[in-house]
Structure 1
Amino acid sequence: MRDLEVLYDQVPATRCAGTGDCCWLTDEEFDNYYATMFPLYRAEYVHIVNYVEQHFSPQRRQELLNFTEERPRRCPFLGADHSCTIYPVRPLICRTYGALNPVSIARQAIAHQGDLPSAQIRAFVRREAGMVCPRVAVLEPEKVARHARMLMEGTYERELARISAEVELAGAERKRLFQRLTGREEWPLRWSWGGFNALRSAPLAWLRRHFAAYWRKAELIDRK
């Protein structure tokens, strides 16, 4: 997915300490509806599936593609050594984590006052303040200003939505079943790894019998 790689390249490269702290949820975070590796856009999900199918053992591949927990406490891709096992294809939400710090957030917010709507700037500051990580080092500071503006303007989300709209999640039979069970015409634009897996990989018999209840209980799906 060339367009996806081009978009990812706009994010400043970072180096993580590799503790895995951002890849599992504390009890407090879980109770406050935080989620790991979310939002995951449809194109990103398919991109990761392709990587899993090419680079993992049959047993591990089956485990990952059969994983249907919608909001797990621990990211299913976190390795035993706390490393990310899909690092080359990790989604945007993981790439942007820690790419800005309190100083760069404040600096970029000030730089765009009077240039962008104040509501966009406030939303940027609020969102990025929750993404700060002192264990992440930024390796491409020259990209920070453009990256911040793209965040403020919603460029990443628009591009991910555009790219994802061109990606089919599964075959026609599954899509018809999804439409009948949910009343929606199109696949979810973004969800979680487990949620997308339930649609793409679960046996059709399971979908027919259980997916409607799974969908009703889903916490991370866009309901609009």
Structure 2
Amino acid sequence: MCGIYPAPARGVKRLVASRVGIVQFLQWLTMSDLSCQLNALYAQVPATRCAGSGDCCVLTDEEFDNYYATMFPLYRAEYANIAAYVEAEFSSERSGELLAITEERPRRCPFLGPDHGCTIYPVRPMICRTYGAMNPVSLAREALRNEGQRPAVQIREFVRREGGMACPRVAVTEPQKVAAHARMLIDGGYDRELERLSEGVELAAGERQKLYRKLTGKKRWPLRWSWGGFNAVRSAPLDWLREHLASYWKKSELADAS
């Protein structure tokens, strides 16, 4: 099992002896499998070494005013993976605090630690892993390498998007992966796989799901959102959903749902 999650505390044999235990065991298997698939996808991104300033995890006034967001886009599968990690690895008090965050676009990433390190580094999402993985030199080289092989509009978008995430404080430590990584970015390969994995993730069921559909008019959970946005529909008390979700959804700037 390649997932990051420890076996349930009650033990596998004891769990499968009861109906509730079987449900918990299946949930554990599902999350472990999801973690495996995400890790396989993440492994294609060149590893980097960051100076650890934390600047990329805090929005400037200009970025905030221009609708930038920290840790966005966050795919549904990635949210589920991070939420499971938080529940398993953090204290109940701290995990409760993190899962209670409903601010959709905070100025500071909630996982930025006091030492400017990432407190969920093993399960950080794709957007954080790709930050700084391309620099002006590698962007120009890979754009030229793919010229004539891929549509020009895709290459221009690749240069524009990744150029905005180039960071002089980040060093690539796996340069042998850069060419394949660039092709995945140009072709949208990462996004397609994250979408596929996310389609199989249900955030909740029962009354919570009914309230979500009724108050938002959407049949499906958002494919991409933010940590606070996903928390609002997955973890907020039902009374909060009944009273606030409709207005929260109308004000949402980042939710991607159909």
TM range, smaller chain: over 0.9
The equivalent of 1:120 in structure 2 is 154
- Highest RCO, 1 vs 2 (Cα 8 Å, sep ≥ 6): 1
Kept in 1, the 8 Å contact 2:218–2:257? The answer is no
Determine the structure 2 residue equivalent to 1:15: 49
Q: Which amino acid aligns with 1:57?
A: S
In structure 2, distance between residues paired with 1:176 and 1:211: 12
Letter aligned with residue 140 of structure 2: A
The separation in 2 between residues aligned to 1:40 and 1:223, in whole angstroms, is 13
Q: Which residue of 2 aligns with 1:44?
A: 78
What percentage of residue pairs aligned between the two structures are identical?
70
Is 2:221 the counterpart of 1:187?
A: yes
Amino acid at match of 1:173: E
Deviations 1:94-128 (A, max 9, x none): 00000010000000000011000000000000001
1:61 aligns with 2:95: yes
Q: Which sits farther off after the overlay, 34-43 or 165-174?
A: 165-174
> Which residues of 2 match residues 87-166 of structure 1 at below 5 A?
87-166=121-200
Q: Aligned to 1:26, which of 57, 60, 78?
A: 60
SS in 1 for 2:106: coil
Which residue identity does 2:134 align to in structure 1? L
CA distance in 1: counterparts of 2:52 and 2:130, whole angstroms: 15
Pairwise CA distance, 1:172: 2.5
Question: Which of these two proteins has the greater Rg computed from alpha carbons?
Answer: 2
Among 84, 88, 92, the alignment partner of 2:118 is 84
Query: Shift of the alpha carbon at 1:176?
Result: 1.3
Aligned length: 224
Length-normalised TM-score, structure 2:
0.86
The alpha-carbon distance between structure 1 residues 32 and 49, as it changes in their structure 2 partners (threshold 3 A), is: same
Q: State the secondary structure of the residue aligned to 1:37.
A: coil
CA distance in 2, matches of 1:37, 1:198: 16
Distance in 1, Cα, partners of 2:40 & 2:60? 33
Q: Aligned with 2:171: secondary structure?
A: strand
Structure 1 alignment gaps of length 5 or more: none
Whole-angstrom distance in 1 between the partners of 2:159 and 2:257: 26
Counterpart selection for 2:245 from 211, 217, 220: 211
**Deviating 4+ runs (over 3 angstroms):** none
Specify the code of the residue in structure 2 equivalent to 1:181.
L
